[in-house]
């Protein structure tokens, strides 16, 4: 068997593709997730996109389907109460896909899928112990320890984005206060920018920007804008402190940062590394690499999901 299918279900868009064992994406398609009122309709539309290609390549050459989805549960193949999807409740995602396609289907959450993709094709190649942190609209994470993805007893292990970084801090979408996600996601850094602009009198390029985005903050930092640099320092401090805590749990060889905010390069990596080191227990100091993802942003989601299938025996449980 030479091919697998990778599907990444996102709140707005979903991408899917056919991937060979070397990690080459042979075919790609995209669906607007929000267009589908019911999950069944989404499965049918995915089938219409992919099936002609499956027939062309020979169905017997396909090992299966890997899906990364918000709140995807590896054990049950379900998605459960995903806040950003129209489809509510607990839904049998893997079963619907395997019934429709006649192919074995594996599900996990998007950050775990990214971690497995990184281990097969990216910065974590050959590593047995690492933490993948995705800094996107939210903050996700996948923990690999002793060569295995950690799923926990219910399939939901590794939610670093919802570990409390600041006691009684900002209100999070999950209903609690001070989650890491409210500070170090793309939306979190924008909240910081708006707070700083309101409470500080420093002049800044950002003062003339309406509806600031994380990209605006990056652009200002590149131009040496003092307030933008301060925003990155603040964000990196909170992220670095939380990563130092995470290191104490699994003692990883590396932490890999992925997603929009990670693309800010040194502006986020330097303060994050500095504050991580400052807050590490002595036994870990100078040992943990902080690395950018080596997967291309556009391919990572499909590759990671497809890798689930190749890795099912070796790494998963
Ligand atoms: Zn939260």
More confident residue, 315 or 221: 221
What separation in Å is there between the alpha carbon of 202 and the centre of ligand 1?
30
Q: How far is the CA of 42 from the centre of ligand 1 (A)?
A: 28
Report yes or no: 148 and 315 within 8 Å, Cβ to Cβ.
yes
Where is 17: in which H helix or E strand?
strand 13-20
116 alpha carbon – ligand 1 mean position (Å): 24
Average the pLDDT over 290-310 and give the result.
87
Q: Each residue of 129-143: pLDDT tens digit?
A: 999 999 988 899 999
Ligand 1 centroid from CA 175, angstroms? 6
Distance in Å, CA 3 to ligand 1 centroid: 37
The pLDDT of residue 10 is: 87
Query: CB–CB of 155/280 below 8 Å?
Result: no
Residues 6+ apart with CB under 8 A from 266: none
The pocket of ion ligand 1, defined by CB under 5 A, consists of 162, 172, 174, 179
**Ligand 1 centre and the CA of 187: distance in Å?**
13
181-197 per-position pLDDT tens digit: 999 999 999 999 999 99
- What does the alpha-carbon distance between residue 249 and residue 259 come to, in Å, rounded to a whole number? 23
Å from CA of 254 to ligand 1 middle:
24
For residue 237, the CA-to-ligand 1 centroid distance in Å is 18
Write down the pTM of the prediction.
0.90
Helices H / strands E in the chain, number of each: 9, 13
Distance 70 CA to ligand 1 centre (A): 14
> Sorting pLDDT into bands at 50, 70 and 90, what band is 310?
confident
The pLDDT tens digits for 5-25 are 999 998 888 999 999 988 899
Backbone region of residue 155 per phi and psi (left: phi > 0; alpha: psi in -120 to 50; beta: other values): left
Token readout for 266 is: 């040194």
pLDDT tens for 105-157 read: 999 998 999 999 899 889 999 999 999 999 988 899 999 999 999 999 998 89
> Parallel, antiparallel, or unpaired: how do β-strands 289-292 and 254-258 relate?
parallel
């Amino acid at each position: 068997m030479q091919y697998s299918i990778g599907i990444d279900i996102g709140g707005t868009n979903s991408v899917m593709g056919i991937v060979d064992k070397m990690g080459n994406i042979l075919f790609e398609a995209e669906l607007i997730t929000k267009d589908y009122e019911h999950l069944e309709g989404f499965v049918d539309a995915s089938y219409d996109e992919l099936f002609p290609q499956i027939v062309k390549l020979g169905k017997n050459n396909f090992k299966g389907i890997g899906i990364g989805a918000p709140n995807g549960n590896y054990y049950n193949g379900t998605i459960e109460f995903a806040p950003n999807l129209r489809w509510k409740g607990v839904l049998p995602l893997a079963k619907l896909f395997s019934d429709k396609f006649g192919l074995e289907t594996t599900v996990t959450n998007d950050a775990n899928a990214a971690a497995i993709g990184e281990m097969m094709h990216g910065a974590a190649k050959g590593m047995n112990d690492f933490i993948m942190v995705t800094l996107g609209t939210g903050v996700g994470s996948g923990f690999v320890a002793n060569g295995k993805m950690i799923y926990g007893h219910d399939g939901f292990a590794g939610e670093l984005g919802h570990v409390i970084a600041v006691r009684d801090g900002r209100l999070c979408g999950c209903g609690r206060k001070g989650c890491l996600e409210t500070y170090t996601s793309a939306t979190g850094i924008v909240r910081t920018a708006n707070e700083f602009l309101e409470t500080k009198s420093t002049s800044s390029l950002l003062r003339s920007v309406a509806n600031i985005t994380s990209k605006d903050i990056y652009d200002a930092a590149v131009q040496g804008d003092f307030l933008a640099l301060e925003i990155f320092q603040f964000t990196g401090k909170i992220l670095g402190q939380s990563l130092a805590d995470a290191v104490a749990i699994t003692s990883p060889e590396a932490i890999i940062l992925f997603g929009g905010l990670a693309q800010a390069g040194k502006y986020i990596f330097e303060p994050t590394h500095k504050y991580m080191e400052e807050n590490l227990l002595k036994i870990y100091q100078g040992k943990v690499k902080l690395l950018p993802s080596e997967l291309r942003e556009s391919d990572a989601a499909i590759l990671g999901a497809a890798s689930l299938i190749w890795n099912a025996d070796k790494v998963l449980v």
